[in-house]
Amino acid sequence: MTYLFSGLTLAANLVSGIVSARALGPDGRGVTVALVTLSQLAGLLFALGVSRSLSYFIARRPSDGPSLLTTCVIMLLPPALIAVGITQLLLPTIFATDGEQAIDVGRWYVFTIVLVIGLELNYGLLLGSHDFVVYNALRFALPMLLAASLFAMWRLDVLDVESALIADAACTTVVVAVGMARAVRRIGVGSPRPRLGLTTAWYGIRGQGTTVAGQVNARLDVAMLPAFVASASVGLYSVATNISLIVYQLSNTFAGLVLPAAARDPRRGRLKVVGSLWASLAAAGLIALGLALFARPLLGFVYGDDFRDAAEPLVLLLPGAVLFAGSSILSAGVYAAGRPFTATLPQLIGMVVTVVGLFIFLRSGGITAAALVSTTAYATVFLATVIAYKVTTGTPWRWLLPTPARLRELLS
């Protein structure tokens, strides 16, 4: 079910990408993607790891759900306001090469950081209560609504950067409202419990590096590009990253279910994690192979001839994206073992590779350098996560190999 919804979500995202690329061109798409990426990074940074912490604690002790819901809502308000303020101050620096348009639009759009944090809160509540159907439906509803809105505005010839961002904010608001209403009905509202909230927050903060560093590894290249290259190059690279991360997003969505499932059933947790790893790597590898073989004609056919040059960074990103997909599953297994900080370390190592590599090579190498740095960081994260999972769970190396005997044991 999760892979089905993930496939539908990716299809909706593809429609949005095609419409925005054809309507806005490389320049307009570059500005739009950069602002959306900035808002998402800031929101995830200041969400205090609430999605994973709630999915872990509510799965382990459902009776704490009502109090956790109330406590986390109150606890996240100050970080959300701080995130908006800091991002407002950074806008002129981030968009130094794009003139006043991106800055003026960004002044109001950065308030959607509050919505990003609300989504993380809502996803944690739904995953912790094992409400997987609604979780998947809402994950699909947001890109579906956005794709429909962008397509309608495109056909009416009213789609520009500002209207695209307004549509994004409106669709996110609707999904957050529906999701929170569902969470309140399923879990209930309880009295605030500060001590429980601090325990949950500490778990989330210790593992927050996984979310933040993972997003940095996946999106920092796009966020940094406006300061070094023209918007047209940002638009080309954003298409390459969006397509390459299809293979990662499928696994990352599934990893959200692996965590509470393995946490609730520790006896079979290792089987669930390792089996999910094999399935994710196989699916990601097949998708990446198809994309690599037909990159240039596909980009020209789907996005238009102006985007054919995105093929080179796309091919460079795909090998790392496959390994990045596998790391998300193993990271969920480390979280389920109650070791959030250990799950953070591989992503932090990869983040160092990303940040140092981009600062050294981005100015001279442009989008090609960005792609090489990112795929190297993805591979680094995978290798470090394999080691972290083995050490944390005591899993023998032979368990990580999909031998026929191991597959039979998993299926039994």
Q: What percent of the chain has pLDDT over 70?
A: 89
Question: Per-residue confidence at 153, pLDDT binned at 50, 70, 90?
Answer: very high
Question: Per-residue confidence at 359, pLDDT binned at 50, 70, 90?
Answer: confident
Q: Residue 400 is encoded by which pair of tokens?
A: 């990580």
- Write out pLDDT tens, residues 110-152: 999 999 999 999 999 998 898 989 998 998 999 999 999 999 9
More confident residue, 400 or 152: 152
Cα(148)–Cα(247) distance, rounded to whole angstroms?
A: 23
Cα(172)–Cα(167) distance, rounded to whole angstroms?
A: 9
Q: What is the mean pLDDT of residues 373-397?
A: 89
Q: For the chain, first and last CA: distance in Å?
A: 21
> Are the beta carbons of 48 and 333 closer than 8 angstroms?
no
Burial 88-122 (b: 16+ CB within 10 A, else e): eeebeebbeebeeebbebbeebbbbbbbbbbbbbb
All structural domains of the chain with their residue ranges? 2-411
Q: Residue 169 is encoded by which pair of tokens?
A: 């904010």
Of 93-97, 379-383, 397-401, which gets the smallest average pLDDT?
93-97
- Write out pLDDT tens, residues 239-289: 888 788 777 776 666 777 777 777 777 677 777 888 888 888 888 888 899
Torsion of CA 11, 15, 21, 22, to 10 degrees: 140
**Residue 184 confidence (pLDDT):** 94
Is a pLDDT exceeding 90 seen at residue 409?
A: no
**Residue 98 confidence (pLDDT):** 58
Give φ, ψ of 162 to 5 degrees: -65, -45
Instruction: Decide: helix, strand or coil at residue 61.
Output: coil
User: What Rg do the C-alpha atoms of the chain give, in angstroms?
Assistant: 20
- Write out pLDDT tens, residues 68-81: 999 999 999 999 99
Positive or negative torsion for Cα 94, 98, 100, 101: negative
- Write out pLDDT tens, residues 184-211: 999 999 999 999 888 888 888 776 666 6
Q: What one-character DSSP code corresponds to residue 237?
A: H
Q: What is the mean pLDDT of residues 5-20?
A: 82
Q: What is the mean pLDDT of residues 37-55?
A: 87
Q: What one-character DSSP code corresponds to residue 234?
A: H
> Are the beta carbons of 345 and 333 closer than 8 angstroms?
no
- Identify which of 172, 77, 182 has the alpha carbon closest to the alpha carbon of residue 127: 182
Cα(180)–Cα(138) distance, rounded to whole angstroms?
A: 11
**Residue 235 confidence (pLDDT):** 75
**Residue 223 confidence (pLDDT):** 63
pTM: 0.65
Question: Per-residue confidence at 101, pLDDT binned at 50, 70, 90?
Answer: confident
**Residue 406 confidence (pLDDT):** 66
Is a pLDDT exceeding 80 seen at residue 16?
A: yes
Q: What is the mean pLDDT of residues 292-311?
A: 84
- Identify which of 14, 45, 35 has the alpha carbon closest to the alpha carbon of residue 242: 14
**Residue 281 confidence (pLDDT):** 87
Give φ, ψ of 402 to 5 degrees: -80, 65
> Are the beta carbons of 233 and 366 closer than 8 angstroms?
yes
> Are the beta carbons of 208 and 61 closer than 8 angstroms?
no
DSSP alpha helix (H) spans, 61-160 = 65-94, 99-109, 113-128, 132-155
Instruction: Decide: helix, strand or coil at residue 338.
Output: coil
Cα(264)–Cα(60) distance, rounded to whole angstroms?
A: 6
Q: What percent of the chain has pLDDT over 90?
A: 28
Of 10-24, 213-227, 230-244, 340-354, which gets the smallest average pLDDT?
213-227
Question: Per-residue confidence at 228, pLDDT binned at 50, 70, 90?
Answer: confident
Average pLDDT of the chain, as a whole number:
84
Q: What one-character DSSP code corresponds to residue 297?
A: H
CA angle 219, 368, 18 (to 5 degrees): 60
Q: How many CB atoms lie within 10 A of CB 78?
A: 10
> Are the beta carbons of 34 and 95 closer than 8 angstroms?
yes
